[in-house]
Amino acid sequence: MKNQLPLSLQAAEHASFDNFIAGENQQLIFSLLNENEQLIVVWGDEGTGKTHLLQALSSQYQANGLNALYIPLQIDDDFSPELLGGLEMMDLVCLDDIHTISGHQEWEMALFHFFNKIRENNGRLILAANNSALNLDIQLPDLKSRLSWGLTYQTQKLSDKDKINLLKLRAHKRGFEMTDEVANYLLKHAARELSALIKLLEKLDYESLAKQRKLTIPFIKSFL
Amino acid sequence: MKLEIWDKCHQALEKEISAEEYKIWILPLQAKLISDVNLILFAPNNFVIDVVKKRFLSNISHIIDKLSDNIISVELQVGSIKKSNTDVKLDHSSARKKTLNTASKFSSDSSESKFNRSGTFTSVSQNVASSINSSKSSESVDNRFKKYQSALNKEMSFDTFVEGKCNMLARAASLQIVETISEGSSNNNYNPFLIYGGVGLGKTHLIHALGNIIMSDNPDSKVIYLHSERFVQEMITALQNKTIDQFKNFYRSVDVLLIDDIQFFSGKERTQEEIFHTFNALLEGQKQIIMTCDTYPKEVSGLEDRLKSRFGWGLTVSIDLPDTETRVAILLSKAAQANIDLPQDVAFFIAQRIRSNVRELEGALRRVIATACFQGKKISVEFAKLALHDLIALQDKQVSIENIQKIVAEYYKIRVADLHSKRRTRSVARPRQIAMSLAKHLTSHSLPEIGDAFGGRDHTTVLYACRKIQELRSEEVIVEEDYTNLHRQLTS
């Protein structure tokens, strides 16, 4: 028998400050929202919310009609350092994953010059990486020292309690309520990484709609 | 003004493309209907335009087609829509941003009303183009000078430049030059004047301070400040536009030329040739040239010898790492500039913990101030300790040269003593070079210090090792692999 396909297949949730649980990252958020902080460098392990926060800030600017851009840097044929050209005219530029360009001379150079230009223009620059400026494998000392210039924060992992709160919040935003019990079960049996948990949540939402079942532990068990 | 058709297009697009792509490429676009049949999408730069064209333009056109009765053509342009026509100055983007920033404090209620129906928009591309390409535009040469002068940061003055043993000579020589220029004396032994030193020690501050004071003392003289990169870019543009003669004439007609970071001329032969001739013309006309460089200029690789020798004709001075007292003074001065009351014992505490360069020092101060602001607490030593705990932990964990030598020796199964030894066989020399290169990048030790730690070698040997390894990393997979493994081992 064919399952009923729910309409909003993807209904991707946009990153915002509303669907984020700050945990120990409150001060970071406070500083991100303070537009006088022109240079912030965020670093931390995967799954600690760096991407989410950068995207949230960028879309908040965009929603206010300001010029903002969020870009995850990656090295491939489609991405070249030219990507940064002219962006210094923007009010806000969020560059994610800057560790991926470390050691690439052209990129490091481009980021260095971009850094100087956006500073000259009084634009805001928010950078994220998986390691601190001190420990990134950046070859250009001029760039490296500039990274340590900014307000630096290490993103902190959420506690289990906050992870449960986040799952419940995300579920609520998707239009269903998740019990502590279910959230706890997911955390213990499904995934520890937040991004994996959120993806799972989306899948479960879809499946439970498709199969018209409630999101209970037996249902999750059958799905896992 | 929000454009209904573009909003609807957003909604439709969101279903057609991945959320990730939507966020990165579609959200930054700003739409403007310039007639019933013409929709312009403004993008931040050409790169974004290319991506949007390649991946999404057909989707967009298709959706717009379905949404409208008219046939609307969609065009992509570099630029942006300004929020209103009253608080915008087109020429000075920095002024514009300041106004915008204060005008829009993230309250979504005010943002809607800020969009003027007749919302003026300028194409940023014109701004960008005119700054790079000004020889082509109709603006007067006078305006052109002003543009370079506006690149001088007013906050970087001699008043805010903290003097210490590390920069005393450079500062004194700078002031001497200012005096000579103001007197109009042609007897100047300090020409060219070159300031060199490691990153984040205040070279740029000093050159800006020089530019600012010379300009205010001699408002009629043609003072030009620019970063070396800009010189390169302008020359490329001038070559493309066949305006190289105007370019040459312009630079050869200035009274004072200030160029930051000349090490970036390295390897750019055509630019070096042009700089060489500009140099000759200016020196001949007894015009002052002031430059900064991150190393002793004779040691910059990829610079022509004749240029290096010219750089050394006048006065070359270094700026060194500030001592603790100077770092304290710097912190106090920075805090005062930010209107923050920083107790001296706190400044002392930070200065003792953060020793590498002034930028890092400023980063730490920023963190203390932001934390005080967030928690609403007074700044004390205890408070600073807590606020900086992670930065300090990082500093403390920072690898030492000894540690690097130990790990590298283990990795290559040689003895640490081999790294110190005079032996030059490949099996020892390569690991030694890698270790030196890692020491340069992971510690804040100077080249001579690193040389010392490797059996008393000369600093040029260390410099050579760093360059060699950088070169080899892109040529030999095995070197790249070893380096990355070691780097990871040392930093994780």
Note the pLDDT tens digit of each residue in A185-194: 888 887 777 8
How many residue pairs from chains A and B have C-beta atoms closer than 8 A? 161
pLDDT surpassing 60 at residue B117: no
> Tokens 């490949």 label which residue?
B426
Q: Among B104, B120, B124, B366, which would you mutate to test the A interface (most chain A Cβ atoms within 10 Å of its Cβ)? A: B366
Residues of B with Cβ-Cβ distance to A33 under 8 angstroms? 106
Handedness of CA A204, A210, A214, A217 (dihedral sign): negative
**In this complex, do A151 and B23 lie within 8 Å of one another by their Cβ atoms?**
no
- Residue A223: how many other CB atoms lie within 10 Å: 15
Q: Can you give the pLDDT at residue B134?
A: 39
**Residue B212 carries which side chain, given as an amino acid letter?**
N
- Between CA B171 and CA B477, with CA B266 as vertex, the angle to 5 degrees is 125
**Alpha-carbon gap, residue B413 to B407, rounded angstroms:** 10
- The pLDDT tens digits for B431-453 are 999 999 999 888 878 888 999 99
At B136, is the pLDDT very low, low, confident or very high (cuts 50, 70, 90)?
very low
Q: What is the pLDDT of residue A197?
A: 84
Handedness of CA A169, A170, A171, A173 (dihedral sign): positive
Give how far the C-alpha of residue A150 lies from the chain's centroid of Cα atoms, to the nearest Å: 19
pLDDT of residue A3: 52
Q: What value does the mean pLDDT take over residues B237-266?
A: 93
pLDDT at position B19: 83
The least confident of A50-64, A93-107, B73-87, B116-130 is B116-130
Asked if A72's CB is within 8 angstroms of B470's CB, the reply is no
Say what the pLDDT of residue B140 is.
Answer: 65
Q: Which of B407, B477, B478, B479 is nearest to B442 (CA)?
A: B407
In terms of phi and psi (left: phi > 0; alpha: psi -120 to 50; beta: otherwise), the region of B33 is beta
**A220/A111 Cα distance (integer angstroms):** 46
Q: What Å distances lie between residue B35 and B4, B117, B121, B193, CA to CA?
A: 14, 14, 14, 57
Euclidean distance between CA atoms B26 and A60, whole angstroms: 15
Quick one: pLDDT band at residue B115, thresholds 50, 70, 90? very low
Q: What average pLDDT is seen over chain B?
A: 84
Classify residue B480 by burial, with Cβ atoms within 10 Å: 0-12, 13-18, 19+.
middle
Buried-state track B366-375, b at ≥16 Cβ within 10 A, e below 16: bbbbbbbbbe
pLDDT of residue B192: 93
The rounded distance, in Å, linking the Cα atoms of A54 and A125 is 10
Interchain contact, B491 vs A131, CB within 8 Å: yes
pLDDT > 70: percent of chain B: 87
The reported pLDDT for the residue numbered A189 is: 83
Lowest mean pLDDT among A146-150, A163-167, A214-218, B257-261: A214-218
- Which residue in chain A has the smallest CA separation from B338? A36
Structure tokens at B294: 């991150």
Average pLDDT over residues B16-38: 87
Whether B91 has a pLDDT exceeding 80, the answer reads no
Kindly list the residues from chain B whose CB atom is less than 8 angstroms away from the CB atom of residue A67.
28, 30, 44, 80
The residue of B17, B122, B156, B359 whose CB has the most chain A CBs within 10 angstroms, and thus the best one to mutate to test that interface, is: B359
Residue B266 pLDDT > 80: yes
Question: Tens of pLDDT along B378-406?
Answer: 999 999 999 999 888 887 777 889 999 99
Query: Over the Cα atoms of chain A, what is R_g?
Result: 20
Rounded to a whole number, what is the distance in Å from the CA of B286 to chain A's nearest CA?
30
Torsion on CA atoms B29, B33, B34, B38, rounded to nearest 10: 90
Cβ of A10 and B19 within 8 Å? Answer: yes
- What letter would DSSP give residue A121? T
- The pLDDT score that the predictor gives to residue A12 is 52
First to last CA, chain A: 21
Report the candidate in A121, A76, A67 with the shortest Cα–Cα distance to residue A94. Answer: A67
What confidence score (pLDDT) does residue B398 get? Answer: 74
Could A134 and B395 be called an inter-chain contact, meaning their C-beta atoms sit closer than 8 Å? yes
Contact B127, B90 (CB under 8 A): yes
Minimal Cβ distance to B106: which of A60, A138, A145:
A60
Q: Closest residue of A to B155, CA-based?
A: A120
Partner residue facing B441 (CB), from A14, A69, A139: A139
Cβ–Cβ < 8 Å for B81, B43: no
| For B114, nearest residue in chain A (alpha carbons) | A65
Give me the long-range contacts of B229-233 (CB less than 8 A, separation at least 24): B229/A113, B229/A116, B229/B261, B229/B264, B231/B259, B231/B265, B231/B271, B231/B275, B232/B264, B232/B265, B232/B268, B232/B271, B233/B132
Q: Per-residue confidence at B23, pLDDT binned at 50, 70, 90?
A: confident
Q: Taking CB atoms and an 8 Å cutoff, what residues of chain A touch B391?
A: 152
Identify the residue among B106, B337, B365 best suited for mutation to test binding to A, counting A beta carbons within 10 A and taking the highest: B106
Select the more confidently predicted residue: B413 or A195. Answer: B413
Q: How many CA atoms lie within 13 A of B252 on its CB side?
A: 14
**Shortest Cα–Cα distance, A190 to chain B (Å):** 24
How many angstroms separate the most distant Cα atoms in chain B? 82
> Please, which residues have CB within 8 angstroms of residue A192's CB and are 6 or more apart in sequence?
none
Q: Is the peptide bond before B297 cis (omega within 30 degrees of 0)?
A: no
Per-residue pLDDT averaged across B12-36, rounded?
Answer: 87
Give residue-wise pLDDT tens across range A28-82: 999 999 999 999 999 999 889 999 999 999 999 998 888 899 999 977 767 889 8
CA quadruple A19, A21, A27, A29: dihedral, nearest 10? -10
Q: Mind telling me how many Å the CA of B363 is from chain A's nearest CA?
A: 4
Q: Which of A192, A92, B453, B100 is nearest to B432 (CA)?
A: B453
Between A106 and B132, the higher pLDDT residue: A106
pTM: 0.80
pLDDT tens-place string over residues B160-213: 999 999 999 999 999 999 998 888 776 678 999 999 998 889 999 999 999 999
The percent of residues in chain A predicted with pLDDT above 70, rounded, is 94
Q: Which of B441, B450, B472 to mutate to test the interface with A (most CBs of A within 10 A)?
A: B441
CA B432/CA B418 separation, integer angstroms: 8
**How near does any CA of chain B get to the CA of A172, in Å?**
20
Distance, CA of B145 to CA of B287 (rounded, Å): 16
Across the range B64-78, mean pLDDT stands at: 87
For residue A37, give both structure tokens.
């902080």
Mean pLDDT of B9-15: 89
- Is the pLDDT at A124 greater than 90, yes or no? yes
A35:B124 CB<8 A: no
Nearest by CB to B200, from A123, A132, A145: name it: A145
Structure tokens at B82: 């300004």
Distance in Å, alpha carbon of B97 to nearest chain A alpha carbon? 7
Tell me, what's the pLDDT at B235? 93
DSSP codes, B273-337 = HHHHHHHHHHHHTT-EEEEEESS-GGG-TT--HHHHHHHTSSEEEE-----HHHHHHHHHHHHHH
* Three-state DSSP class for residue A5: coil
CB-based burial, B98-136: b 16+ in 10 Å, e otherwise: ebbbeebeeeeeebeebbeeeeebbebbebbbbbbbbbe
pLDDT at position B107, please? 34
As a whole-number percent, the residues of chain B with pLDDT over 90 amount to 53
Among B452, B447, B433, B458, smallest CA distance to B197 is for: B447
pLDDT band at A4 (very low <50, low <70, confident <90, very high): low
